[in-house]
């Protein structure tokens, strides 16, 4: 599994000096919103590349390898859900964190976004400070230090924390960052009954915006 390029200090802006700035792709067709997002991310120490539609996002992502993609759903042409599906099906990009940022607030849309492989789902209108916090939270999940053995084996399942890869019967299975962390946690607590709250605390402890319903979506994806 490929991990996107980044040198991200989880402590925040103070650690940005002297290291490359994490690159965030912002896919948003409303110019004012795109400018607002870009301004706040750049002020927080991120490099930003903006797109008004999804036409060239995939090819540019394969060339630039962004640390994270912030993705609107209602885009001209193919929508954000379709683009997310394409990213997750592209092996070199499959682990790239994706956050949906959209005016679609229905629970069905939120569930769909998570089921397609989104790492977070933010609805408009949004707080710029909250947006930056959630971007940081998702990126922290990419570089979380291992607190369990580097390689976990459960039957035919192998979870390798050092390379963030999952194999079943020797075949590599593509997962998102959150899916990997969830699977890693469950594999390291084999035989224990885990509640939704325990999983939230373990995998999303720095993201207070995730609901227990989201856990159900991620577990279904792993089955």
Q: Give the pLDDT confidence of 50-64 residue by residue, as tens digits.
A: 999 999 999 999 999
In a domain, 128, yes or no: yes
On whether both 125 and 196 belong to a single domain, the answer is no
- Contact indicator for 99, 68 with CB cutoff of 8 Å: yes
- How far apart are the C-alpha atoms of 131 and 128, rounded to whole Å? 5
Say what percent of the chain tops pLDDT 70. Answer: 84
The phi, psi pair for 130, rounded to 5°, reads: -65, -40
Task: Mark whether 46 and 96 lie in a shared domain.
Answer: yes
**Does 102 lie in the same domain as 208?**
no
- Whether residue 8 lies inside any domain: the answer is no
Q: Is there a single domain that holds both residue 85 and residue 158?
A: no
DSSP at 152:
E
Q: Is residue 64 part of a domain?
A: yes
Among candidate residues 121, 142, 163, the one where a domain is terminated:
142
Q: Is the pLDDT of residue 213 over 90?
A: no
Residue 102 neighbours by CB distance under 10 Å:
22
Q: What is the CATH number for 137?
A: 3.40.50.2300
Based on the fold, state whether residues 159 and 218 are members of the same structural domain.
Answer: yes
Judged against a pLDDT cut of 90, whether residue 135 lies above it is answered with: yes
- Residue 176 or 146, more confident: 176
Domain boundary at 96, 120, 142, which?
142
pLDDT at 210 (0 to 100): 64
Residue 195 in this model has a pLDDT that exceeds 50: yes
More confident residue, 93 or 201: 93
Do 65 and 30 fall into the same domain? yes
CATH code of 186's domain: 1.10.10.10
Please give the pLDDT value at position 8: 39
| In a shared domain, residues 115 and 18 | yes
The phi and psi torsions of 157 (rounded to 5 degrees) equal: -95, 130
- For residue 215, tell me if it sits in a domain: yes
Domain end (from 142, 177, 195): 142
Check residue 15 and give its pLDDT. 43
| Full-model pTM | 0.65
What is the per-residue pLDDT for 26? 98
Structural domain includes residue 163: yes
The answer to the question of residue 2 being in a domain is no
pLDDT, position 69: 97
Same domain flag for 118 and 172: no
56-108 tens-digit pLDDT? 999 999 999 999 999 999 998 889 999 999 999 998 898 899 999 999 999 89
Asked whether residue 37 is domain-assigned, the answer is yes
Res 145 pLDDT > 60: no
Tell me: do 70 and 134 sit in the same domain.
yes
Task: State whether 161 and 134 are in the same domain.
Answer: no
Residues 81 and 130 grouped into a single domain: yes
User: pLDDT tens, 103-130?
Assistant: 999 989 988 998 888 989 999 999 999 9
Looking at the predicted structure, is the pLDDT value of residue 18 above 60? no
Q: Is the pLDDT of residue 147 over 80?
A: no
Alpha-carbon span 67 to 47, nearest angstrom: 10
Residue 113 lies in a domain: yes
Q: Are residues 26 and 120 in the same domain?
A: yes
Q: Provide the domain limits for residue 99.
A: 13-142
Q: Give the DSSP H or E segment for 180.
A: helix 177-188
Average pLDDT in the 18-28 region?
Answer: 85
Question: What six digits make up the tokens of 122?
Answer: 């933010």
Most confident of 6-10, 14-18, 55-59: 55-59
Q: How many domains does the chain have?
A: 2
């Amino acid at each position: 599994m490929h991990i996107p390029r980044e040198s991200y200090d989880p402590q925040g802006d103070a650690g940005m000096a002297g290291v490359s700035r994490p690159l965030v792709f912002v896919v948003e067709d409303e110019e004012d919103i795109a400018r607002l997002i870009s301004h706040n991310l750049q002020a927080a120490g991120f490099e930003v590349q903006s797109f008004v539609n999804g036409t060239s996002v995939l090819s540019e992502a394969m060339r630039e390898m962004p640390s994270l993609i912030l993705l609107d759903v209602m885009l001209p042409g193919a929508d954000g859900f379709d683009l997310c599906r394409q990213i997750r099906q592209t092996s070199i990009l499959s682990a790239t964190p994706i956050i949906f940022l959209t005016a679609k607030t229905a629970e069905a849309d939120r569930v769909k976004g998570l089921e397609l492989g989104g790492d977070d789902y933010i609805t408009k209108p949004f707080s710029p400070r909250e947006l930056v916090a959630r971007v940081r939270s998702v990126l922290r999940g990419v570089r979380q230090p291992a607190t369990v053995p580097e390689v976990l084996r459960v039957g035919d399942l192998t979870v390798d924390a050092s390379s963030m890869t999952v194999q079943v019967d020797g075949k590599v299975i593509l997962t998102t960052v959150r899916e990997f962390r969830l699977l890693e946690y469950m594999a390291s607590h084999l035989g224990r009954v885990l509640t939704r709250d325990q999983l939230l605390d373990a995998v999303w402890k720095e993201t207070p915006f995730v609901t227990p319903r989201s856990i159900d979506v991620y577990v279904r994806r792993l089955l």
